[in-house]
Structure 1
């Protein structure tokens, strides 16, 4: 098991392959464990780095964090790249990981060569999506009713539908259940998608993100996700959008993603 000390926390990470850095930022609830197969495929295109975010799975401390803020996750992503002496990376973020990827590109533009946003959780960009996310936050807290172990399960059920978690292998179901404290810490933190004070970015701030960006939506995802992506495609200057089959857990190594990474690796201006 490989570990890094970043910003005062111990983070689990994996890297494989050579070439252009590719950083994968996982969802909430989630772990790099859910990216294992995708990482193998991405490693054929570059130096793929995946990690468990602070508080999650193999990066969970002995005593759970009371709160987890967006700024901490963004600083950690930048810290992972710095600690591994990786140059500017193609950053792939799924759901909450996409929110982190956007803010990484905004705050640390030298760390990001390109973005792949798999239904990023920047719900505040659209009024309907924002209302959906605020209701989701309330439903998750209501369904878990103070039972920490049910928080991750509630997020999965509310976003993916009843029984969605049961389709996952048992080891992944157990892993997701174990992220409950981290999920609750993000809800109680600042700037996260289900925080009371979720990050808000005006269009001028998004327009400052100049990296080429692939935005991916799924046909069976909640409508709020497609509303967010539509807004982002209009706000970010250099975007390509793709609609793929399936639900909200989009494959980070989907052929559309691999094609985009290949184009960036070959020539940064060849994506358009």
Structure 2
């Protein structure tokens, strides 16, 4: 099981294909295991790197951390790219992964060639989305008192939808359930989407992220997620927006993503 040590933790990772680096940042709850099919498809378009984030699945920590902060995930992603001599990369992030991708572009712009944001969880950009996220945070914390390993299910049923959750096989349910300690650690930490102190980025902050960005939203997702993508589309300087069918679990190797990756591979990194 390949691992690389960065910032005091051993991160599980996989590499598929060659060419322009493509970094996949899974959401919360989640794991690189959910990217298996997408990684194969992306490997036909570049060097796809996926990994389990700090505290999740094969990068689990013993004992589990009490808190996880956004900046830790951002620093880990940057260090992983450096350790693998990969970058600048096309960074793909769904949900919380999209939030981390934005943090990476903000703090380590030299590591980022372009962004693919699949309904990123920057809830603070919209008042209604922020209110929804704070309500979800309270429901998750309430559920954790009686079912600590049911936290992941609560988050996914709310964001993905009941049908999407129920369609997953039992072994994936079990794997995601065991990421619940990491989910709670993020909620107790700083900067993540369901933290008590989530990341806030104003229009000036977003305008400073001068990288090509593809923003995908799904027709069947909660309305608040489309509010976020709409606001981001207007705030990030170089954006393309695509509405896809289905729910929040958007395929990271959607045809629109593959086309974007191909175009970015042919574009000099110094274009901005």
Range into which the TM-score falls when normalised by the shorter chain: over 0.9
Q: Bigger CA drift: 8-17 or 144-153?
A: 144-153
Tell me the C-alpha RMSD between the 2 structures: 1.3
- Whether 2:74 is the aligned partner of 1:74: answer yes
Measure the CA separation in 2 of the matches of 1:128 and 1:249. Answer: 21
Does the 8 Å contact 1:140/1:158 carry over to 2?
A: no
Report the CA distance between 1:20 and its aligned residue. 0.4
Residue 199 of structure 2: aligned partner: 199
Residue 265 of structure 2: aligned partner: 265
**What 5-or-longer segments of structure 1 have no aligned partner?**
none
Measure the CA separation in 1 of the matches of 2:204 and 2:267. Answer: 27
SS state at 2:198 partner: coil
SS state at 2:197 partner: coil
Report the CA distance between 1:144 and its aligned residue. 2.9
Residue 142 of structure 2: aligned partner: 142
Report the number of matched residues. Answer: 270
Residue 152 of structure 1: aligned partner: 152
Residue 231 of structure 2: aligned partner: 231
Report the CA distance between 1:162 and its aligned residue. 3.1
Residue 171 of structure 2: aligned partner: 171
Report the CA distance between 1:268 and its aligned residue. 4.5
> TM-score under structure 1 normalisation?
0.97
**What 5-or-longer segments of structure 2 have no aligned partner?**
none
Measure the CA separation in 1 of the matches of 2:146 and 2:189. Answer: 16
> TM-score under structure 2 normalisation?
0.97
Measure the CA separation in 2 of the matches of 1:164 and 1:197. Answer: 29
What pairs with 1:1-272 in structure 2 (closer than 5 Å)?
1-268=1-268
1:155-201 superposed Cα distances (whole Å, 9 cap, x missing partner)? 11222233532210122111101100000000000000000000001
SS state at 1:256 partner: helix
Measure the CA separation in 2 of the matches of 1:146 and 1:237. Answer: 45
